[in-house]
Amino acid sequence: MSVTSPIVRLRAATFAYQNGIALAEITCDIAAGEFVGVIGPNGAGKSTLLRGMLGLLHPISGTLQIFDCACEKLRCHHRARIGYLPQKERADPNYPITALEVVLMGRYGALGLLRRTSRADRQMAREALALVGMEAQHALPFGHLSGGQQQRVLVARALAQQPQILLLDEPTTGIDIPAQHQVIALIRKLHKERGLTIVFVTHDINAISPHVDTLLLVKTRLYGKGTPEEILTSERLTPVYGKEMTIIRRDGRPFVMTPDYHHHDPAVS
């Protein structure tokens, strides 16, 4: 990855909810075109970081800038440049909406909710489906698709707004292992071919670490930012995951088992 100017800048940014501090004193940059994995245990503040980047949660102290705009002043044309895949929710199989209609929702960020989609918007949606290998299923009910297919459609929805940065919140949770491999391979392909800046929140360190440029290690505060080799060490991980965490070498790479570990082969076909 070539070094470019930051697209996200956090300076001592602290985020809080009514029940207390979620992230404290976060300082880091994310460069344009960087593929970043955000790791940490449950409740560490990983999703909070994405909410801040989306402008949905403002720092109570410090600053967050995305593009050239502070998050509390994030203008609509900047928001439209941010694609977002939220945590997976169970789809109602009886809800009458097609895969194409789901993807068309991604155009609303650029159009505004009150404007009707055009033929050009529908073409963009079809192209986004083609990018994720789901164009042939465009007319199928979304609720009838498999979990992995639904995730592909939701990635297409985020792509339909033609973003510069793609925020992904646990995109492999709740789908089977072959589908997890497919989703990660798809995100890796989009990063390489389209030069998207990607922030990928996950609890599955081993699935994502072979593919990212950078890992952010968080547990209410930032415990480290660096390459997977720099972050996936006992010295870095033990303060976050505890002494139950172990690291082994596998195919020349670190393989991490944590207290909330779920087996997932790191190889992606």
120-139 pLDDT, tens digit per residue, is 888 999 999 999 999 999 99
Strand pairing category for 61-66 and 6-17 = antiparallel
The residues facing 55 across adjacent strands are none
Determine the pLDDT at residue 26: 97
Determine the pLDDT at residue 133: 93
d(CA 199, CA 189): 14
Does 223 have pLDDT greater than 50?
Answer: yes
Q: Which residues contact 197 (CB under 8 A, 6 or more apart)?
A: 7, 8, 30, 31, 32, 33, 34, 35, 36, 164, 165, 166
The residues facing 83 across adjacent strands are 166
Considering the domain 1-75+203-269 in this protein, what is its CATH number? 3.40.50.300
163-202 pLDDT, tens digit per residue, is 999 999 999 888 888 888 899 999 999 999 989 999 999 9
The residues facing 222 across adjacent strands are 218
Determine the pLDDT at residue 50: 95
d(CA 47, CA 151): 18
| Cα→Cα distances 192→22, 27, 105, 258, Å | 32, 27, 25, 30
d(CA 103, CA 64): 29
